[in-house]
Amino acid sequence: MWQERKADLVATMKLRRQSLAKGWYKYSRNPLSVLGLIVLVLIGTSAGLAPYITPYPAHAGAFTNFREAGQPPSWKHLFGTDRIGRDVFTRVIFGYRFSLLLGVVVLSLGVAPGVVLGLIAGYRRGTWVEIVIMRITDVFLAVPPLVLALAITAMLTPNLLNAMFAIALLWWPWYCRLVFAVASSLRNQFFVREAELCGASRAHILFREILPNCVAPILTKMTLDMGIVILLGASLSFVGLGAQPPTPCLGTMVADGAKRLPGEWWSTIFPALAIVLVILAFNLVGDGLRDVFAVEEV
Amino acid sequence: MALLEVVDLHVGYRVFEGYLKVLNGVNFEIEEQERVGLVGETGCGKTTLVKTILRVLPVPPARIQRGQVLYHGKDILLMSPREVRGLRRREMTAIFQDPLQALNPMFTIGTQLRDILKDSQERVGRGQRTQRAITARCISALRDTGMPDPERIMSNYPIQLSGGMRQRVCIAEALSRNVRLLLADEPTTNLDVTIQDQILRKLDQLVDQRGASVLIITHSMGVVRDLTQRLYIMYAGSMVETGRTKGVLASPLHPYTQGLMRSVPRLTGQGISDGIPGRIPNYLQPPSGCRFHPRCAHAMPVCVEAPPPFYPAGDNHRVACYLYRS
Amino acid sequence: MAKFIGQRLAQSLFVLFGLSLLIFFIARVVPGDPARAALGFLATQDQVEKMRAEMHLDKPFVVQYYYWFTGLLRGDLGKSSYTHRPVTTDLGQFIPATLELILFATLISLTVGQVTGVLAGYFRNSWFDGLSRLISYLGIATPSFVVAILLIFVFSQLLRLAPSVGRLPIMVAPPPTVTGFMVLDALIAGRVEVALVALKHLLLPAVSLALIHIAQEGRITRTSIVENLDKDYITMHKVHGIRTSRLVFKYLLRPSIIPTVAVIGLDFAFLMSNAFLVELVFMWPGFARYAVTTMLNKDLNAMVAVVLVIGVTFAMVNLLVDILITFLDPTIRIQRRGG
Amino acid sequence: MPGDILSVDNLRKHFPTKEGVVRAVDGVSFSIAPGETFGLVGESGSGKTTTAQCIIGMYPPTSGDIWFKGERINAAFDRRPKHVKGDLRIVFQDPGSSLNPKRTIKQILSVPLQVHRIGSRRGRLARMKALLDMVELPADEYLYKHPQAIGGGERQMVALARALATNPSLVLLDEPTSALDVSVQAKIINLLIRLQKELDLTYLFITHDLSLMRNIATRVAIMYLGKLCEIAPTAEFFESPVHPYTRMLLSSIPVVSDEEEALKPRKVLSTGEIPSPVNVPPGCGFQSRCPEAADVCRRVDPEMVEVSRSHQVRCHRERRPDRAGHAEASVLHEREERLC
Amino acid sequence: ENVAVINGFPVITADPATASDWYDTEVMYNLYSPLVYPSPDGGVRPHLAVSWEAVGGDLTHWRFNLRQGVKFHSGNTLTAEDVAFSMTRFITMGRGNSGPLGQVTAVVVDTYTVDFVLDKPSAIFPETLALFFPVEKNLVLANIKKPGPYGDLGDYGEEWLGTHDAGTGPYMMTSHIPGQRLDATRFLDYFEGWSNEGWGPDEVPIERLVFIMETDYTTLMTLLRAGMLDLEINGGWTLPQLREIQEDNRLRLSFCWAQNVTVWMNSKVPPTDDEHFRKAILYAFDYESILGPWAEFGNGETGIILPNMPGYVPIEPQPRKQDLERARQELALSKYAANLRDVKVTFHFCGGLDFEEEVGLQLQADMAQLGVRVEVAGPPWPQYSASCSAPETTPNLTIFLFAPQAFPPHDYYLYSMFSASGLGWIFSAHWYFEDPEIAHLLDETRAEPDPGRRMDIYRQLQPLIAAHSLAFYPYQKPTLFAHQAYIVGPKESIAFVGPSENMHNWRINLKLKQELRG
Ligand SMILES: Nc1ncnc2c1ncn2[C@@H]1O[C@H](COP(=O)(O)OP(=O)(O)OP(=O)(O)O)[C@@H](O)[C@H]1O
Ligand SMILES: Nc1ncnc2c1ncn2[C@@H]1O[C@H](COP(=O)(O)OP(=O)(O)OP(=O)(O)O)[C@@H](O)[C@H]1O
Ligand SMILES: [Mg+2]
Ligand SMILES: [Mg+2]
């Protein structure tokens, strides 16, 4: 008996390992995606270890040094210093923390409700449940997210938390719609029908039969969305509605430095490129994931 | 000289997992005004073969490793795009399996038909008269296929037609010009028997009128028996047996053909055999030698070594099996 | 078709109604005092109280909404507490500038995106395909405000090639407003040189807006061309000996263009939100800049109007796109005709 | 009949759509005795699947009754008692979409076991292996595979194993082999026949392939445009088809041998296509394609009549006493030949 | 070309009854004339009114004699009717700068005499009228839009006045696109005339004014460099920009008046409710560091009122210097000494303003040395100002730049900021009104008709207020007018928003312009 269960476990693990290996194989076929992943890992770890690897960790917090303000890039300050004398390189690395945190928090708050609502609406398509959920979704989707995010954050006290809150509030409808589309097409698939006919519970059908089929698009969208959320966060802080000083925040740094163009170009160009890099990396990884999942569908 | 002769054709696909060796030394020929059937199960490479002949194989992922496709003795695979286009306009054409996929959903039947005639070399002249002449020819081509009310159909879009109607349109497109060779890739697989019956009868008639040769590709033994004089049986990328249709069906020689024939449900109702054990091989690592040997009850050591050539078995009947070596 | 449009319009109305409720609600629940903001510096508490009564801020949410809604039915969106003008007047002044910008950007992104997409798709895996892929990756990853700043830095500050602010140089008197589009108005007034100058001013902001969309549209078109190239019907067209030019520009392009058209609506939404930032960077005296200002000032009436205008535009664009697709795609047309 | 395992009485299923009401099933009655293989044949769109889906409870019928083992089961699945759900199972046509591509075969097979509380947690694994053995798949290997990783025929076998997991007594087979090659089909058909014997199963077998039907069914019903045309025991059905549509079908079948050719009725040229089930014209549904449609056929829809015991047919011609039986078949053929 | 392009920030309203903003005031002084005109000594001198007196002894009844022959831009003559109408309109609409006036009833005595009756006595009433700009009665009445909130008077002409003017000022509005641009031309019949006395031979009046509204200083710099901008009067330049302007011989930088950077300390919420804690902040702040780079442009010296205003008294610490030792001592005395770790000081600045942010960051760094956490935030203006409407919502520290923008400026700096009738927002974000002596003295300033003695009271007040450490004053931010060298002015510089930007006070040297710009 025990032997049998062990064999079962081993086989299951082996299957899982195999599909992971296969996924990675497909992913690794695209060198750009691999590059994106490497960049992302680099950004992630350096953001995580920022206090230990940056040259002037103090510059991320309460610090001023007007004597060294506005210095051009040099070996001492790779990306130069800003108007208060802080090391731009250090602040860019710390700035990634904010961006990544924003992305992770927004998506983890936004995705779950969106997915659940989308599943329910998709499965119960044609009933009042679907109508209520999808009309509410429509309302949220009726204006571009940045506009609503601006409107909301403009009214709240600007800080990291409120920016996250505002964006998260806007994010679920996208997942709701995505999952709705998948779920309502899967609803008539025979394997769902079969589970119903067999007497399986709603929860089983929603979360065991339909949800696994939504995972691929959700994951892909999530990686691509990380880029979009980071962009949105950067945009909000560019307008001055993001994290508050002295928190290093890429959008704020760009906005701040832009006032000093073309003279102190380094204080805006480097943070701007940093934003581009992280979004690019997420896009590349997202495309890689899409490849992985797309081939599987065939 | 045969109208079309395929010699030792090897074609594969490069995919994520590796290289799929699909066509494995295909040899076959079609004579002038001959009707040839090609029967094989799903995935044995029938469509690949047709696309190779027509030079429309997507390259990459596909790759033509070696072999020749001789049309009147000239290798199609070596022709310039211009020559190929000329060939397609005048000499050979095709009908594909899925009539919905084969018609462009964005344009009316009339537009598509007319453009084929406009671009074919059979020009009548220029100007308004030509337009009207072309339209008239389109309508008559549709009517030839047994299409009711062809004038109306001309302004319809593919989705407005039923499966049978679409297939008639495909036939009209293929036979609107006077071609010498028609490659029909499973023209009736998705249709009901009654409709299939109508369409095959019509196709038969039209090909007869034009004196063209036909290659009919199908899963169905019954269809080839009705329509063709000669038959090829294909398995996993190569031809395993050929001969006069009735002869092959009545007394199949290759173990695969025999298994297949036993699996076909008969109207006589004597029950069905157990089919053929196993399934079609994986093209990534196909079995060496005769690709059928892992499923074959008569497999011998020699089968593993090299693919068998065709051995004659009397009365035009040839089999690629070492059982018939002597 | 008429029925379809009617349905869609009704649906949009419903959504817009929900949207106005949502904005109103959000604006009410968050703290802040629009009356105070409206009055300015030296106002006394009494004056503020009076203003609050005038703005119905002392009433419950539902009553406020009722006032606003009945006003809307009369075509009255209320008064902006920031500019002290009727919101409709403000909108009338600012929208054309933004529209000009967005339309020009759309024009650029559609043409450039389409052409590169078609070429990259048809010559897939060529160097051109690789190059356009690389550029499109960069384009998608670069926020438009970053593009804007980079463009200003390079073209207007380093190279001094293009102006970086506004719609016209200060010393040039704007032509009389007819369409609200500077270029058109200048042409109508017969001042060609002004039109050219206005166009020059339009260029950088429009390009910064368009870049990301060029990338996106190019990519979608490419994908869809590649997808269609593999379709049986394209193979069939080849088999039937259709000329290459006809094959590409008629039989391939038409089905491939539909996905691009389908995303125009969504694209437009992003274009609008990007316009918010680009207008700030280029000091474009447009709607988006007005919107940001009113939002920051908690100018309730203006804010609701701004969001609604965007909602309406978005809905209209989507409707237009749907009609366009119906026009382009007979499959959908036939289905809708049945309905 | 009291002994029947399933009986369907005047079943109708109409779908309201944009274009109009689709009369997918329009008054179908039949019953199946235990141990039978009841074959339902018809061209595509004739309503076979809809009939099966009403029986299985995917949607409630518009009207009519369905009796299963003496129990009236008109409601849709969500209102049916659980034992019925276990006792009445279905295998769908498309092996691609009937198995969830994201779940392993083990997970797929465990659903009915869990839902119907069959076996202990431990025992289930053994039970699943037994099921796979039953459908002749090597259990240890297949249990841990995803459906995409196996062939079409094997998928259909897994679907069958899943259907059998709850020990049903009636299994609806909706074209279980039409997407498969003949060599694979042969295997599955044999498997079905074997399992029927072993497990005392009753089948409702849906197909459009008459030759296949000849080899598996005990009784055959022909469906056309939502209505049954003819029901007869298999042998009688093939030996003496009565309905003009049946004969048209039979004569259109491509066959592979001369013996079969001899069994086919004389050629009835097939014309026209099955009309759309929306706004069905009055009279007999087949009237538009029937080579000898009379005036009455265009006005009145015929009723089902018995030609002989257990052989029923729905054709006006059978009403006229002077033209019963095969006598008039030749007349038809003559006329047919004159037409050609 | 005889044009001056002037940058003012968005003019929100051009109606004198609703204008309140700094930028509005700048424009007002060009289009309209106030009843009395600010003078450099902090008082007012005759302008539209030639003389005035309090009637009766209680300072509630004031009589003004108007200048005769003053022409409106329409060509009509200004009369008491117009002034009375304007005052009634100002008070009825109750917006803009009308707050400090209270309830005023205007009575026409004769064609050139008008009486104002106040609801409470005020000795400084005449001075407050430096922000009262009469409009032409008939013109406004002719352009009323009905319906409006004022019954028969509709909208009181507000909408029309947004894009037209009805004034007597040196320039006449020719067009106004709110938020974008305001054009004006010289009014030849301006009652003060356009004599060239005191100006150089080539310096002629400016014919046309273009007010543009641009907040981005990168852009402004580009425009200035290119000669497309003649005068910038808000002075939001960055240091490198200021240096560039200084070095360019075609440009000039003139100092006009200062704004004092004030950091209010909220005396009602912990930990700044403790006076010692406030003092600690005062000493902890590193004034030199923040001033360092600005020293060449500004002035470290600043206090409750501006140093260049008459009656200025320096306040502690002097010289303004960081003294961490002293700060530590004060901190030890405060009731939060035991648990400094739990203390959190909030510092708000108006979002987007660099100087203010830098002060916050500097303070943050300084206080960190004492183990006190400072949270810096820069909400946008509306939230920023709204949070100061109640003591509980007011942050510990609020930084604000006070430029003298109400008149008289002493009253603005002292009375409106430190009297209990405080307005409930940014002016008194310290929330301290307990000291009876201060309250008494403040009331006295408004009851003292003699300007000299009033000034004495002002001097007396400053150390008293400073003793409570309600604010610290990091530095004085100079308002630097950047302009083309060929734009000359202002002839008369007054520490008050408006008169310095009155372009009647400026001239253009066309010859020089020709030379410098070609
Ligand atoms: N574009 C392609 N890329 C990769 N593999 C392909 C491609 N086209 C076909 N194949 C593979 O080649 C093999 C033969 O395919 P082909 O379509 O020629 O078979 P077929 O005999 O026509 O089958 P069917 O009866 O299903 O039409 C299959 O195993 C298929 O997986
Ligand atoms: N849910 C539905 N809504 C509308 N029409 C439907 C629906 N389901 C089936 N139909 C229609 O009912 C008719 C009968 O369909 P059904 O699937 O039962 O036919 P079938 O005999 O199983 O055909 P096939 O051989 O193609 O499987 C068809 O015309 C179909 O279009
Ligand atoms: Mg094929
Ligand atoms: Mg079916």
Q: Is D195 helix (H, G, I), strand (E, B) or coil?
A: helix
Measure the CA angle with vertex E283, ends E280 and E289; round to 5°. Answer: 135
Alpha-carbon distances, residue B248 vs B224, B257, B316, C218, D226 (angstroms) = 11, 9, 10, 55, 40
Task: Tell whether C315 is covered by a domain.
Answer: yes
The stretch B11-39 carries a mean pLDDT of 87
The DSSP line for E195-224 is --TTS-TTEE---EEEEE----HHHHHHHH
pLDDT of residue C29: 67
Domain count of the fold of chain C: 1
Residue C250: give the domain boundaries.
87-338
Residue of D102, D116, D144 lying closest to A11 (CB–CB): D144
β-bridge partners, B233: B39, B241
Q: What is the pLDDT of residue E142?
A: 92
More confident residue, E30 or C245: E30
Q: Which two tokens stand for residue E127?
A: 């001075």
Using CA positions, which residue lies closest to atom 25 of ligand 1? B42
Note whether residue A141 is domain-resident: yes
> What is the pLDDT confidence band of residue D46, given thresholds at 50, 70 and 90?
confident
Q: What is the mean pLDDT of residues C197-223?
A: 88
What is the per-residue pLDDT across E360-409, written as a single tens digit (0 to 9) for each? 888 988 988 888 888 888 877 777 877 887 888 889 999 988 888 778 88
**Two tokens at B16?**
């994520």
Which is higher by pLDDT, D340 or A283? A283
User: Where do we find the tokens 């379709």?
Assistant: C231
Q: What residue in E sits closest to A155 (Cα-Cα)?
A: E383
Share of chain D above pLDDT 90, in %: 17
Tens digits of residue pLDDT in E236-292: 787 888 888 989 989 998 877 778 888 999 988 888 888 899 989 989 998 888 777
Closest atom of ligand 2 to CA, residue D53: 18
pLDDT of residue D323: 42
Mean residue pLDDT across chain A = 86
* Average pLDDT rounded to a whole number, residues B241-263: 89
Instruction: Choose, out of D93, D142, D182, D251, the residue to mutate when testing the contact with B (most B CBs < 10 Å).
Output: D182
Whole-number percent of chain D with pLDDT over 70: 93
Give the model's pLDDT for residue A290.
84
What residues 268-327 of chain E have any CB closer than 8 A to a CB of chain A? Answer: 289-290, 292-293
C-alpha to C-alpha distance for A263 and E247, rounded to whole angstroms? 15
| Helices A145-155 & C253-282 angle (0-180, nearest 10) | 30
End-to-end CA distance of chain A: 38
Mean pLDDT confidence for C319-337: 81
Parent domain of B247: 1-82+220-264+275-326
pLDDT at residue A265 in the model: 87
Q: Is the pLDDT of residue C81 over 90?
A: no
Residue B76 inside a domain? The answer is yes
Q: pLDDT confidence of C37, banded at 50, 70, 90?
A: low
Q: What's the pLDDT score for residue C31?
A: 60
Q: Chain C contacts of E94, Cβ < 8 Å?
A: 46-47, 50
Mean pLDDT of A260-268: 83
Whether residue B312 is predicted with pLDDT greater than 90 in this model: the reply is no
Best to test chain C binding among A131, A136, A150 (most C CBs inside 10 Å): A150
What local confidence, expressed as pLDDT, does residue D333 receive? 43
Q: What is the mean pLDDT of chain B?
A: 84
Contact A190 D92 (CB under 8 A): yes
pLDDT at D335 over 60: no
Residue with tokens 């005035």: E52
Question: Which of A139, A252, A264, A291 to mutate to probe the C interface, most C CBs <10 Å?
Answer: A139
What pLDDT band is residue E184 in, cutting at 50, 70 and 90?
very high
Query: What mean pLDDT, rounded, does chain C reach?
Result: 82
| Rounded-to-10 torsion of CA E313, E317, E321, E324 | -170
Q: Could you tell me what percent of chain C has a pLDDT over 90?
A: 2
- The reported pLDDT for the residue numbered B121 is 63
A204-212: long-range contacts at Cβ-Cβ below 8 A with a sequence spacing of 24 or more? A204/D111, A204/D115, A205/A123, A206/A119, A206/A120, A206/A123, A207/A119, A208/D103, A208/D107, A208/D111, A209/D100, A209/D103, A210/A119, A210/A122, A210/A123, A210/A182, A210/A183, A210/A186, A211/A115, A211/A119, A212/D100, A212/D102, A212/D103
**pLDDT score of D78:** 81
d(CA C71, CA C65): 10
Task: Please tell me the distance between residue A198's alpha carbon and the centre of ligand 2 in angstroms.
Answer: 22
Task: Select the more confidently predicted residue: B160 or E132.
Answer: E132
C242 pLDDT above the threshold of 80:
yes
* Cis ω for the linkage preceding D101 (within 30 of 0): no
Give the C-alpha separation, E52 to E324, whole Å: 53
CA distance D175 to chain B (A): 14
- pLDDT value, residue D318: 67
Cα distance between residue E33 and residue C71, in whole Å: 38
Judging contacts by C-beta atoms under 8 Å, the chain E residues touching residue C37 are: 382, 385-386
Work out the minimum CA distance from E394 to partner chain A, whole angstroms: 13
Whether D276 has a pLDDT exceeding 90, the answer reads no
DSSP calls for E276-332: HHHHHHHHHS-HHHHHGGGTTTSBS---SS-TTSTT----SSSS----HHHHHHHHH
Measured in degrees and rounded to the nearest 5, phi and psi for residue B325 equal: -60, -40
What pLDDT is stored for residue D324 in this prediction? 42
CA E361 vs CA C312, D164, E235, E311: distances in Å:
44, 74, 22, 32
Q: Is residue D232 part of a domain?
A: no
| D212 and D279 share one domain | no
Q: Does residue C8 lie within any of the structural domains?
A: no
pLDDT for res E423: 61
Q: What is the pLDDT of residues A153-196, one digit of tens each?
A: 877 777 778 888 888 888 889 899 999 988 988 888 889 988 98
CB D48 less than 6 A from any atom of ligand 2: yes
What are E185's strand-pairing partners? Answer: E172, E208
The CA distance from E442 to E454, in Å, is: 10
Q: How far apart are CA C122 and CA E447, in angstroms?
A: 87
Q: Which domain covers residue A206, as residue numbers?
A: 42-63+74-297
D97 touches chain A (CB under 8 A): yes
CB burial class (10 A; 0-12, 13-18, 19+) of residue E360? buried
Tokens standing for residue D273: 């296509």
> What is d(CA D338, CA D340) in angstroms, rounded to the nearest whole number?
5
- When pLDDT is averaged across residues E492-518 and rounded to a whole number, the result is 86
| Other Cβ atoms within 10 Å of A14 Cβ, number | 11
Q: Which atom of ligand 2 is nearest to the CA of D206?
A: 22
Sign of CA dihedral E76, E78, E81, E84: positive
Decide: C and B in contact? Rule: 3+ Cβ pairs under 8 Å.
yes
Q: What is the pLDDT of residues C101-129, one digit of tens each?
A: 988 998 898 889 888 888 888 888 788 88
Greater pLDDT, E239 or E89: E89
- Helices A145-155 and A160-186 sit at what angle, rounded to 10 degrees? 150
C-alpha A238/C-alpha A259 separation (Å) is: 12
Is the CB–ligand 2 distance for residue D42 below 6 Å? yes
For residue B198, the chain D residue with the least C-alpha distance is D270
Please give the average per-residue pLDDT across A117-137, as a whole number: 89
Average pLDDT over chain E, rounded to an integer: 86
Distance between CA atoms of A155 and A169, rounded to whole angstroms? 14
Q: Can you give the three-state secondary structure of chain C, one letter per residue?
A: CHHHHHHHHHHHHHHHHHHHHHHHHHHHHCCCCHHHHHHCCCCCHHHHHHHHHHCCCCCCHHHHHHHHHHHHHCCCCCECCCCCCEHHHHHHHHHHHHHHHHHHHHHHHHHHHHHHHHHHHHCCCCHHHHHHHHHHHHHHHCCHHHHHHHHHHHHHHHCCCCCCCCCCCCCCCCCCCCCCCHHHHHHHCCCHHHHHHHHHHHHHHHHHHHHHHHHHHHHHHHHHHHHHHCCHHHHHHHHCCCCHHHHHHHHHHHHHHHHHHHHHHHHHHHHHHHHHHHHHHHCCCCHHHHHHHHHHCCCHHHHHHHHHHHHHHHHHHHHHHHHHHHHHCHHHHHHHHHC
- Do D322 and D264 belong to one domain? yes
**pLDDT confidence bin for D328, thresholds 50/70/90:** very low
For residue C224, what is the domain's CATH number?
Answer: 1.10.3720.10
Cβ neighbours around E333 below 10 Å, total: 14
Number of domains in chain A: 1
| Mean pLDDT, range A148-152, rounded to an integer | 82
Domain presence at residue D247: yes
Structural domain of residue D257, as residue ranges? 241-339
**DSSP letter string, E371-430:** T-EEEEE---HHHHHHGGGSTTTS-SEEEEEE---SSSHHIIIIIHHHSTT--SSGGGTT
E385 token code pair: 């100002």
| A117 band by pLDDT with thresholds 50, 70 and 90 | very high
DSSP H helical ranges for E99-184: 125-128, 137-142, 158-163
Residue of C nearest to D18 (CA): C339
For residues C152-175, give the mean pLDDT: 77
Counted domains in chain D: 2
What pLDDT score was predicted for residue D205?
A: 93
Tell me, in angstroms, the distance from the centre of ligand 1 to residue B82's CA.
27
State how far residue B277 is from chain A, nearest Cα, in angstroms: 26
First-residue to last-residue Cα distance in chain B: 28
Cα–chain-centroid distance for residue E214?
19
Q: What is the reported pTM? A: 0.83
Q: Could you tell me the pLDDT band of residue C230, with boundaries at 50, 70 and 90?
A: confident
> pLDDT digits over E441-500, tens only?
988 888 888 888 988 999 999 999 988 888 888 887 777 889 999 998 788 878 788 888
Dig out the tokens for C228 from the structure: 């269609």
Q: Is the CB of D312 under 6 A from ligand 2?
A: no
Ligand 1 lining (C-beta closer than 6 Å): B 13, 15, 20, 22, 40, 42-48, 58, 61, 283
Tell me the residue length of chain E: 518
C19 found inside a domain: no
User: What whole-number distance in Å separates Cα of residue C60 and Cα of residue D212?
Assistant: 75
Least confident of B120-129, D263-272, D286-295, E40-49: B120-129
Please give the DSSP secondary-structure letter assigned to residue D53: H
Predicted confidence (pLDDT) at residue D319 exceeds the cutoff of 60: no
Q: How far is E292 from chain A (nearest CA, A)?
A: 7
Confidence band for E165, pLDDT divided at 50, 70 and 90: very high
For residues B269 and B251, is the Cβ–Cβ distance under 8 A? no
Q: What is the D59 CA–ligand 2 centroid distance (Å)?
A: 13
Other beta carbons within 10 Å of E326 = 16
List C-alpha distances in Å: D257 to A38, B196, B262, D261, E17. Answer: 65, 19, 12, 6, 106
Euclidean distance between CA atoms E320 and E17, whole angstroms: 41
Q: In the predicted model, is pLDDT for residue A146 greater than 80?
A: yes
- The pLDDT score that the predictor gives to residue D321 is 43
Asked if A144 is an interface residue toward chain C (Cβ–Cβ < 8 A), one would say yes
d(CA D269, CA D275): 17
Query: What CATH number is given to the structural domain containing A110?
Result: 1.10.3720.10
pLDDT for the residue D181: 84
pLDDT band at C40 (very low <50, low <70, confident <90, very high): low
Q: Which residues of A touch C137 (CB under 8 A)?
A: 32, 280, 283-284
Domain membership of residue A183 (yes or no) is yes
Residue A88 CA to ligand 2 center (angstroms) comes to: 67
pLDDT value at position C36? Answer: 65
Q: Chains with ≥3 Cβ pairs under 8 A against B?
A: A, C, D
How many CB atoms are closer than 10 A to CB B226? 19
Indicate which residue's Cα is closest to atom 16 of ligand 1. B45
> What is the CATH number for B294?
3.40.50.300
Residue E336, pLDDT above cutoff 80? yes
**Do residues D164 and D156 lie in contact, with contact meaning Cβ atoms separated by under 8 Å?**
no
Mean pLDDT for the stretch of residues D71-86: 85
ipTM: 0.81
When pLDDT is cut at 50, 70 and 90, the band that residue C94 belongs to is confident
Q: Is it the case that residue D206 has pLDDT exceeding 50?
A: yes
Percent of chain E with pLDDT over 90: 26
Domain-located, residue B151: no
